[in-house]
Each structure stands twice: as C-alpha cells, then as structure tokens.
C-alpha cells in the first residue's frame, strides 16, 4: 500500500529533509514541502500575486522602497563587521543551495548546463551555435535529469582526436551532441573520435550512415553475435570495451529488432526537438 502524503512528509522531517517527492493532482510527480505537504509549484503559483503586488509597491512607493533599502544596508554592514554572523549566513546559503541542487531538477540542470557551456567555451575558444538560446531550456532539462553514476557527455568531444592523436573535430555544445553516458564509459572514451564504430558521432539523421541508420556498427554486430552464442556481452575493439545491454542467448533477429526500435525512438525524439526549435524561430 502506498504511504499517504502525511506519512511521507513526516518521514522526510525525521530525515532532516525540507522536501519530499510526491504526486500533485495538478503537476504530477513534484517536490513537496515537508513542513506543509504543499507542492512547490502550487505554492509558487499561490504566492505569485502577493509577490507581484510587493514588487509593484517597491517600484511605486518611495517610502516602502527606502525602508527595504535601509534594511539591506544594515544587513550588509552587519555581515562586514560580524565575522560569526557572516559565517552563519554563508553556511545557511550553502545548505540552501545544496538542498536545492539535490531536490530541484530544474535548478540542478541550470547549474550543470551553465558549467558545461563555460567549459566548452574555454576548451574550444568558440561561440555557441545560433540555436543555443532556443534549445538551452531543453539542454538544462537533460542535465537536470541525469541520474547518479552517469555524466552528460559530448558525443563528439570538445577536442576530438583520431587514433593517431591529431585533432580532427570539435563537438558542439548542442542538444543533439549531449547524451547521458555511464561515468565509466565516459572516462574511457575521453577525446576519441571514431564514427565508424560510434554511431553517436555521426550526423543526427536517418540517411545511410547517419546516427539512426539501422545497419549495426562493427561493435554492435560483435555484441549481437556474442549474445546469440550465449557468450559474455563485452567486446574490445581498438582498445575500447563495448558492453551489451541484452541478455546472453538472445537471437540475432530479436537483437536487430530491439536496435531498430531504439533508433526509431531516438530519431522521433530528435525530430520532435527540431520541430520545437522551428516553432520558436522568428518568421522571416
């Protein structure tokens, strides 16, 4: 039997947590306050009129604005003069940010994606694509939903090198090139660029040789055959280990069908993303 929201809130308080995940009838699976059981999004919507009224009063009422500025000035002076108070305030801020990073996927996504974008600029010395502003929200969602033990990886590395060590490409910081990858696999790939064996490093299309082309790559064929022969589902090609996610003993035709269906899902997701971007583009 599923626990009630009250029981979930009580358990969260006992763990010392401010929020817990539960189902909201308006917003689905969302964070809720452990103190009140209120959905964070619902509470934000309820507070919106009051916050808007306070902002309008701040703009239009000089006396009200002066009081708030005086309070801010007093707080800043206290921070400068009282080291103990300053450290206590900093500790509260760190705790709040850590809590929000852990429990708020949107906040976590903004932080992670911002760091990744800055790292990309530093590594490449380049500018973002013209679509970056339009797809940044979708990128942040990807980064926010990345589970523990996985990295958001650039399929084509920022500085992509061939087997000989020569730089041959620079992967873009864009939705199509950012993927969820197990951390161990990401550490193993490093700057490797090998589109013959890694379909994720191919153009994002369904034409022959594209990322969604159903023809298996060499590692995929090797894994499919190993699975069909009931062997361990790990192959080593050019010093890189590839691991299958199918059960040993699975027939070849079943593996091919699973691969084709997975690629079709990815292709549809990419097409939906492109359609969403095109809707945001200004009319010429």
Q: Encode pLDDT of 224-264 as tens digits.
A: 887 777 665 555 555 555 555 656 677 888 888 988 999 99
Residue 279 CA to its chain's centroid (Å): 22
- Does any domain span residue 108? no
Yes or no: say if 178 and 187 are a contact pair by the CB < 8 Å rule.
Answer: no
- Does any domain span residue 219? yes
pLDDT of residue 232: 58
Residue-number span of the structural domain to which 210 is assigned? 195-284
Residue scoring higher pLDDT (245 or 122):
122
Q: How many domains does the chain contain in total? A: 1
Q: Which of 37, 42, 29, 30 is nearest to 12 (CA)?
A: 37
Q: pTM to 2 decimals?
A: 0.68
274-277's contacts with Cβ under 8 Å and 24+ in sequence apart are: 276/138, 277/131, 277/134, 277/135
User: How far is Cα 229 from Cα 108, in angstroms, rounded to an integer?
Assistant: 43
Q: How confident is the model at residue 185 (pLDDT cuts 50, 70, 90)?
A: confident
Strand, helix or coil at 107? helix
- Does any domain span residue 284? yes
Angle CA 233–235–240, to nearest 5:
135
DSSP 232: -
pLDDT of residue 233: 57
User: How far is Cα 70 from Cα 78, in angstroms, rounded to an integer?
Assistant: 12
Least confident of 65-79, 81-95, 144-158, 181-195: 181-195
- Does any domain span residue 231? yes
- Does any domain span residue 3? no
């Amino acid at each position: 039997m599923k626990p009630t929201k009250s029981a979930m809130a009580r358990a969260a308080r006992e763990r010392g947590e401010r929020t817990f995940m539960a189902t909201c009838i308006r917003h689905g699976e969302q964070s809720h306050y452990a103190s009140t059981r209120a959905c964070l999004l619902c509470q934000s919507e309820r507070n919106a009129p009051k916050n808007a009224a306070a902002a309008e009063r701040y703009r239009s009422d000089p006396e009200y604005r002066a009081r708030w500025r005086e309070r801010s000035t007093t707080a800043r002076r206290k921070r400068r003069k009282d080291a103990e108070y300053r450290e206590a305030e900093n500790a509260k801020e760190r705790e709040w940010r850590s809590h929000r990073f852990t429990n708020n996927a949107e906040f976590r996504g903004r932080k992670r994606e911002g760091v990744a974008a800055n790292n990309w600029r530093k590594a490449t010395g380049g500018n973002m694509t013209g679509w970056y502003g339009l797809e940044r929200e979708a990128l942040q969602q990807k980064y926010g939903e990345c589970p523990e033990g996985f990295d958001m990886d650039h399929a084509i590395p920022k500085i992509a090198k061939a087997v000989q060590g020569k730089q041959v490409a620079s992967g873009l910081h864009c939705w199509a090139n950012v993927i969820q990858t197990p951390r161990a696999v990401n550490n193993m790939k490093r700057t490797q660029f090998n589109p013959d064996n890694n379909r994720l490093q191919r153009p994002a299309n369904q034409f022959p040789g594209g990322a969604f082309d159903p023809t298996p790559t060499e590692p995929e064929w090797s894994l499919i055959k190993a699975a069909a022969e009931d062997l361990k589902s790990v192959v080593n090609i050019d010093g890189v280990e590839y691991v299958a996610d199918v059960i040993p003993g699975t027939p070849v035709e079943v593996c091919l069908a699973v691969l084709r269906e997975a690629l079709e899902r990815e292709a549809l997701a990419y097409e939906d993303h492109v359609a969403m971007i095109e809707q945001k583009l200004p009319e010429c």
